Amino acid sequence: MSVAGDIVTAVLADISTAIAGVTTSKEAVSITELRGEDFPHAMVLQTDYEAEILEWSQERRTWTISGTIVQEGGTREDMQTKLENIGAQVAADSTLGGTVDRSTFASSLSHSHTDSPHLFGVFVVQAEKVV
Amino acid sequence: MATLDSIAQLLISAVIAQTSVTAFVTNPLRRTEKLTAGQTLGASMPVVAGFVSDSNTNYPVGEYSIAVLHRLSDPSDEETYREGAMATDQAVLMDPSFWRVAGIKRVIEVPEMDRPERIGNIIEYTVSVQLAIVP
């Protein structure tokens, strides 16, 4: 598996540890395809990669993984708690299972239509490794 | 007869013998060499700084800068290196007597060290000194 694949796997593993009963996807899926038992669901929407050349033939590689968490019903506070739990789990596993040197986590609650039964949380994990 | 370069070679040997530096880079200006994890290399950049007169003799003065480069084995090893090998090496390099190798008349300017800087996984600092060379 590629390094990016390992990082995505590690991020989803941390999410699974942080949220009880969550299901995960490594790519975007339509919530209409998800069944009731699939919620809460975490999916990776995008993975960006960039490399910066440093002195002495070093290279700083940075991956940015962004995704969303969907829950059916519940309150915004529930979603906020989920996002905070993921943040705590990523902080405890800052090397993402040893795949990178360090990582940081950020999240926000997405605005939902008042008629929608779904709540969305957005997360971004930035991971860095110098080789 | 001691020259700027012959003194530089003596200093390189002394640095390798007395510090954790294991070798010197061949081209310190291009900065393209790859350091392996845990490796400590030196970079030597001698320049002529002028002359100093003493008892009717002119002594060439060389300014010697030795850069010490260390690649961390792991990004989290910085504190261990700074408090261990780096501190020991700096104590050696900051001692004026270290620089009085054969062919040196005297130390004109005592060793000065710049602030260690970390770029990526490499920590680098430079010690500079001015030495009067016996012509």
Run means of pLDDT, 10 residues per run, chain B, 135 residues: 90 96 90 92 88 88 95 94 97 96 94 96 96 91
**Judged by CB atoms within 8 Å, which residues 39-68 of A form the interface with B?**
54-58, 60
How many CA atoms, within 13 angstroms, populate the side-chain half-sphere of residue B83?
A: 4
User: Considering only residues 2 to 31 of chain B, which have any Cβ-Cβ distance to chain A shorter than 8 Å?
Assistant: 31
Over residues A7-16, mean pLDDT: 97
pLDDT score, position A1:
59
Residue among A58, A101, A102 minimizing CB distance to B122: A58
In total, the C-beta contacts within 8 angstroms joining chain A to chain B are 31
The reply to whether ipTM tops 0.95 is no
Q: Which chain A residues are Cβ-neighbours of B121 within 8 angstroms?
A: 58, 130
Does any CB of chain B come closer than 8 Å to the CB of residue A33?
A: no
Exposed/middle/buried for residue A30 (C-beta within 10 Å: 0-12, 13-18, 19+):
exposed
Does A32 reach chain B within 8 Å, measured CB to CB?
no
Give every CB contact of residue A6 below 8 A, 6+ residues apart in sequence.
A96, A97, A99
Task: Indicate the pTM of the whole model.
Answer: 0.83
Q: Cβ distance A130 to B118 under 8 Å?
A: no
Torsion of CA B91, B97, B103, B105, to 10 degrees: 130
